[in-house]
Amino acid sequence: MSEEAVKVTNFIRNIIDKDLASGKRSSVVTRFPPEPNGYLHIGHAKSICLNFGIGRDYQGQTNLRFDDTNPLKEDIDFVNSIKEDVSWLGFEWAGEIRYSSDNFEALYNYAVELIENGKAFVCSLNAEQMREYRGTLTKPGQNSPDRDRSVADNLQLFKEMREGKHEEGTYSLRAKIDMLSPNIKMRDPIIYRIRFVEHHQTGNAWCIYPMYDFTHCISDALEGITHSLCTLEFEDHRPLYDWVLDNISLECHPQQIEFSRLNLEYTVMSKRKLATLVADKLVDDWNDPRMPTISGLRRRGYTPASIVEFCKRIGITKQENTIEMGALESCIREDLDSSAPRAMAVLEPIKLIIENYPQDQVEQLTAPNHPKDETMGTRQVPFTREIFIDRADFREEANKKYKRLVIDKEVRLRNGYVVKALRCDKDDNGEITTIYCSYDPETLGKKPSDGRSVKGVIHWVSASEGVKAEIRVYDRLFTVPNPAASEDFATVINDQSLVVYANAMVEPSLVTAKAEVAYQFEREGYFCADNKDSSPEHLVFNRTVGLRDSWAKQQ
């Protein structure tokens, strides 16, 4: 094992250690098996880090296998997005990408084997009748009238199902287990159903498709998986996982181990609920930066390192819990604080004219790219007579707690001079349009010579040299910590989850900003150029996270 593996331990790694020490296993093979029916989210990142991390640390391998047995809900776009997300997080799968559909012929043959051994039968009950016969947690199930159909008839009907001779819903293939079992999953579950749907990998070659519980365990075994890691909702599926493998002629028998899924405040982790957000247009798409999808977090400016670190910190247990959003935000702040160069952007510009500064002069001021890291170098920021400051940074009158610009008071312009507000102009609605100032030319990079105390510092952008940009300030999508408990998502959507500043101004160095490269906009937060909409002709920046947790103050 690597040194990193020694530092990280959990109950799953303890099981693996014992398996290797006892000789039960001689190697470790894991898999990440997403269903391509949506984009991956931060919860999947936990599983990705677990499976690929174990494969790496035990010098084993991790397969990427698509659980593509339900073509009604699957799409090649989802396949491509999943591959991209896994790679972006920094993980490499072993060999070629695998698909459950690669095993369709083998799965069919194992189903035939079960029929031949009297372990499966073709059932004619429809969905409503099936529910009635299944029973409940307190009421035992009843045998299907077709349960004792002969092997020969079952084989013939199953063959006809494959040949497309029967309509959808007329027949299904069920495992013959125990309708009295306290575990409803074991009450003669369906293992094949008829679906006349084109498949994104196999086209129209099949019109019967295997169910997840039948497919997954066999695919694991065919790939030689040693430890099949899944979330706790599959715990009651484990007896069926084992039953299938115990009743077919496959020697490999992986061990299924369950761990708690990731629940995160102020968002939802169900693909079905995320799909609802997209379908109901409560968000723009799966990669909307407010979504907890990996592609949404990436577009918002989260880094692979921050997500991997988050997954490391929350750990792997069997205990269900909900993680505070602040824990995820803390990881990205820590990452970007040390790595993100600084820049200046004004979200709500208001013009400031420095009356005693030369009319046409453009002065290049030197600014550090990072105040704590000299190795990141410096940049030149143009300074002119007319600049923009943020509207929130000026008041005509204010108390002593207000450390920004006030009439007859001084502040320092970031990396620049000390200025003093003299007066302002207003429009017919009383809105301030222009502020007039004077500057002290002896204060560039030093304190006023007469000992005046200037405590406030504000950011700015040259009016003539700055560049217009659209800045999108993203926040939590929901107003409540557990939106999944709400009957209607629309009632708990945060109407401030996206605030667009269409007329923002940024310093000219940001014209060359590349998508997903982070900057700290001084005093505003961490931002990156949008990987979909931004271009040098129309700059669009997304806020990744604020400089501090504003939500903590609201609790």
**Which residues are tagged catalytic?**
35, 261, 271
Residues 16 and 5: their CA atoms lie apart, in Å, by 12
Q: Is the dihedral of CA 9, 15, 16, 21 positive or negative?
A: positive
Residues 221 and 399: their CA atoms lie apart, in Å, by 72
CA-CA distances (angstroms) from residue 136 to 139, 177, 497?
5, 16, 42
The residues, any chain, with a CB within 8 Å of residue 120's CB and separated by 6 or more, are 111, 114, 154, 173, 174, 175, 176, 191
213, two tokens = 């519980």
Cβ atoms of 13 and 259 closer than 8 Å: no
Pairing of the two strands 467-474 and 342-343: unpaired
For residue 159, count CB atoms less than 10 angstroms from its CB and return exposed for 0-12, middle for 13-18, buried for 19 or more: middle
For residue 455, count CB atoms less than 10 angstroms from its CB and return exposed for 0-12, middle for 13-18, buried for 19 or more: exposed
Quote the strand ranges of 51-171, DSSP E.
61-66, 98-99, 120-123
What's the order of all strands across the beta sheet hosting 518-521? 342-343, 518-521, 525-529, 539-545, 467-474, 498-506, 345-346
Q: In DSSP terms, which residues pair with 263 in a beta bridge?
A: 322
Q: What is the Cα 114 distance to its own chain's centre?
A: 40
The radius of gyration of the chain's CA atoms, rounded to the nearest angstrom, is 31
Cβ burial 57-68 (10 Å sphere, 16+ → b, else e):
bbebbbbbbbbb
535, two tokens = 């271009």
Residue type, 504: A
Cβ atoms of 217 and 254 closer than 8 Å: yes
